[in-house]
Amino acid sequence: METLAGVTRMRLVGGNLALDFINTRAGPPVGPPDDDVLTGYPELVAWGAYAGALSEPEAEALRRLSLDDPGGAHAAFTRSLRIRDDLDEVFRTVAAGQSPSTSVLARLRDDEADALGHARLDRGSTFRWTWQDDQTLARPLRPVVHAAVQLLTTGALDRIKGCGGCRFLFNDESKNRSRRWCSMDDCGTSEKIRRYVAARRTRATG
Ligand SMILES: [Zn+2]
């Protein structure tokens, strides 16, 4: 399997495919992002496989398709960045306890309608949407858009939160809804260190 190492730089901590898609950009909690793993169509496909949105054979088929149609691949990539901006706006607004604009929600509706227009209903323990028949270059975006709509329509909105230490968003699935960090190993630990250093400084000067 071809691996684009950069894509795995972002840990999958969102608890939802759409939130993990937003988390392909990293940086401080406010202000512009300072890192982005989505740098082209091959990275979009690699991220889809990494995040579980695509099987490896599907990713391979998309790689071949993109080589045959570079213009179409570029258009799908440009669209993926627009969708990521839209999802970022929607979920960051919801995390702040506010309502997204009607225009961004209308675009999300159109993207969901397009995603379902390429989907198939498959029977498992329940029926679910799959995109196994979809052989278009926008294939990686379909489950991302659908996961976003699922979370907005069936999730608990007060569980959608922003990390206290970085710009990552996550769905807080903890029992008492007390999760504050994208990951304890990363932002949680740096916060603990910061508090420890501050407390020691207070003791030293006090
Ligand atoms: Zn964080």
The string of pLDDT tens digits covering residues 36-53 is 999 999 999 999 999 999
Listing DSSP states for the chain in one string gives ----GGGGGS---SSSHHHHHHTTEE--SSS--SEES--SHHHHHHHHHHHTSS-HHHHHHHHHHHHH-HHHHHHHHHHHHHHHHHHHHHHHHHHTT----HHHHHHHHHHHHHHHHT-EEEESSSEEEE-TT--STTTTHHHHHHHHHHHHHHS-GGGEEE-SSSS-EEE--STTS---SS-IIIIIHHHHHHHHHHHHHHHHH-
How many whole angstroms from 81 Cα to the centroid of ligand 1?
22
- Work out the average pLDDT over 108-132: 97
Using the predicted structure, report yes or no on whether residue 201 has a pLDDT greater than 90. Answer: no
199 CA → ligand 1 middle, Å: 22
Residue 96 is predicted with a pLDDT of 96
Closest CA to 9 of 37, 34, 46: 37
What separation in Å is there between the alpha carbon of 138 and the centre of ligand 1? 29
Query: Tokens at residue 175, please?
Result: 């029992």
**Distance from residue 188's CA to the centre of ligand 1 (Å):** 7
Q: If you compute the radius of gyration of the chain from its CA atoms, what whole number of angstroms results?
A: 19
Q: How far is the CA of 27 from the centre of ligand 1 (A)?
A: 9
CA of 170 to the centre of ligand 1 (A): 9
Is the pTM here over 0.75, yes or no? yes
Structure tokens at 110: 């159109």
pLDDT attached to residue 74: 98
Alpha-carbon torsion angle 88, 143, 108, 134, nearest 10: 140
| pLDDT at residue 2 in the model | 46
Distance 18 CA to ligand 1 centre (A): 17
| Distance between Cα 19 and ligand 1 center (Å) | 13
Taking the C-alpha atoms of residue 141 and residue 54, their distance in angstroms, rounded to an integer, is 10
State the pLDDT at residue 186. 81
64-101: per-residue pLDDT in tens? 999 999 999 999 999 999 999 999 999 999 999 999 99
What is the 58 CA–ligand 1 centroid distance (Å)?
31
Q: What separation in Å is there between the alpha carbon of 181 and the centre of ligand 1?
A: 5
